[in-house]
Amino acid sequence: MKGIFKVNFMWIVGIAVSMIAVSCDSGNLPNPYDVTIDSAVNAKMAKRQVENAAKNDSILNALAVARADSMANAARHFAPTVKDSTTEALTR
């Protein structure tokens, strides 16, 4: 009986060790194809970020110019007239 138990126990330990070894080795090494895809995707994303930043900068600049033009027009048309003493003396 002791011999059968020892053989069965060794089989169970051997199976457990082999399962642990297989599960540990499966995910440790990166697939070279996946690394290539990741680097290509990262390059595309970096390019799009630069393009979007440039587009956003041009939009913000256009909005700033429009706002400055609007403020200049408002200041020109709605500026209060200031009468100083020289203007009053000339009009009398």
84 occurs within a structural domain: no
Burial of 29 from C-beta contacts in 10 A (0-12 / 13-18 / 19+): exposed
Selection from 73, 92, 74 nearest residue 83 by Cα: 92
Percent of the chain with pLDDT over 70: 64
What pLDDT score was predicted for residue 22? 61
| Digit-coded pLDDT (tens) for 5-21 | 666 777 787 777 777 76
Tell me what percent of the residues of the chain surpass a pLDDT of 90: 17
pTM here? 0.40
Residue 57's alpha-carbon distances to 19, 50, 60, 61, 62, in angstroms, are: 56, 11, 5, 6, 9
92 is a domain residue: no
- Mean pLDDT over 71-90 rounds to 68
Q: Which domain holds residue 14?
A: 1-29
Quote the tokens at residue 55: 């587009």
pLDDT of residue 65: 93
Which residue is listed with tokens 């070279």?
Answer: 32
Confirm whether 87 is domain-assigned.
no
